Structure 1
């Protein structure tokens, strides 16, 4: 329903996930107020109301769906990075599965994530004997270290060219749409 009400505004002025809306602006406060007013008018016309205590206005940084959003870009939420970095070494397959899924939520922030995690995902196969080796330990620590650097994904600048970077190995396959915005690849 929310996507229908805000059709034409999503990905230009706002993001919608279920009943959550993030209104964002590339510009000053005046423009933000106009775009916010447009979103609020659409909601009102559809007979929808907001709970004021759940609203946050004019935030420079906010957390949304486990990510920290700012004008600089998107990074993993600090509390979830802490959860990954403090995750104990697995002693049972179910614990490996929990870690793989938790870390996998942030795969877009870690280059060659699939290849790095291969020793751990191999432990999830039913037909393999479960054994935590140096390979699993290395993967476990490497993913935790990569996330604790708080990597930042910057927003695309559609006036600049993009580069499609691909990579493949015996254990992984990946692709990334990259852009040099003056900070290097």
Structure 2
């Protein structure tokens, strides 16, 4: 989309809530279009896009990123037309420079989509496989956050991740910079998770 958030008008009653002053001697400014940085802006924009396109089974939406997938080119053209018509009716504008059409393979939200299905982005897989041994609670949380994003691709993920996940749970109240206890169980779990994504087939 072209300047996605800016396409959403702020209701008249809420415009004063966006007021800001850039400094002494400057007037007060207010947003009439939804800016970045408002607490509920992402949720508001996601809901808008879901209201417009969410019922279409061939569309995935994440904020201003729209993925349209089809079994063949003829169907893809029909799908594109329907999406364009809905966006036009909602007065949502696309940015041509941000659009890719008729792609046989595309990276989207850390995944690769193609005719075979969906698989983790190889760059993310490489990042996981080369992840250094965690030293702090924050390191452990970041690793589990990344590898957990791909749990659907890892058979028996819950059992494999249990020792590290239990460590995360035990340290729930600890700040990120606290040194993490790291024993043999955690190391085995960590090594299994690091290598689990390599060579996995795509999910249909």
- What is the TM-score of this pair, normalised by structure 2? 0.68
Moved more, 68-77 or 13-22: 13-22
**Per-residue Cα deviation, 1:83-142 (whole angstroms, up to 9, x for no partner):** 111110112222111111111111111111111111112222139x94322211111111
Deviation of residue 8 (structure 1)? 3.6
**Residues 7 and 121 (structure 1 numbering): CA distance in 2 closer, same or farther, change over 3 Å?**
closer
**Residues 46-57 of structure 1: pairs in structure 2 closer than 5 A:** 46-57=90-101
Q: 2:118 aligns with which of 74, 81, 92?
A: 74
For residue 103 of structure 2, give the secondary structure of its aligned residue in structure 1: coil
Aligned position for 2:191: 141
Partner SS, residue 101 of structure 2: coil
Q: Bigger radius of gyration, 1 or 2?
A: 2
Report the Cα distance in structure 2 between the residues aligned to 1:20 and 1:85, rounded to whole angstroms.
28
* 1:90 match: 134
Question: 1-side partners of 2:54 and 2:158: how far apart?
Answer: 35
| TM-score, normalised relative to structure 1 | 0.75
Matches within 5 A, 1:123-142: 123-124=167-168, 125-126=170-171, 130-142=180-192
Q: 1:25 aligns with which of 62, 70, 81?
A: 70
Quote the Cα distance in structure 1 between the aligned partners of 2:201 and 2:138: 28
Q: Distance in 2 between matches of 1:86 and 1:63?
A: 21
The structure carrying a bigger helix percent of its residues is 2
Pairs within 5 Å for 1:1-185: 1-9=48-56, 11=57, 13-26=58-71, 28-124=72-168, 125-126=170-171, 130-154=180-204
Q: Aligned to 2:60, what secondary structure does the other structure show?
A: strand
Alignment partners' CA distance in 2, 1:107 and 1:74: 13
RMSD, aligned α-carbons: 2.0
Unaligned runs of 5+ in 2: 1-47, 174-178
Distance 1:90 1:103 in 2: 13
Please tell me whether the aligned partners of residues 54 and 61 of structure 2 are also in contact (alpha carbons under 8 angstroms): no
> In structure 2, how many angstroms separate the alpha carbons of the residues matched to 1:68 and 1:22?
12
How far 1:64 moved relative to its partner?
A: 1.0
Rounded Cα–Cα distance in structure 1 between residues aligned with 2:157 and 2:125:
15
**Cα offsets for 1:34-68 (capped at 9, x unmatched):** 22111111111211110111101000111111111
SS at match of 2:135: coil
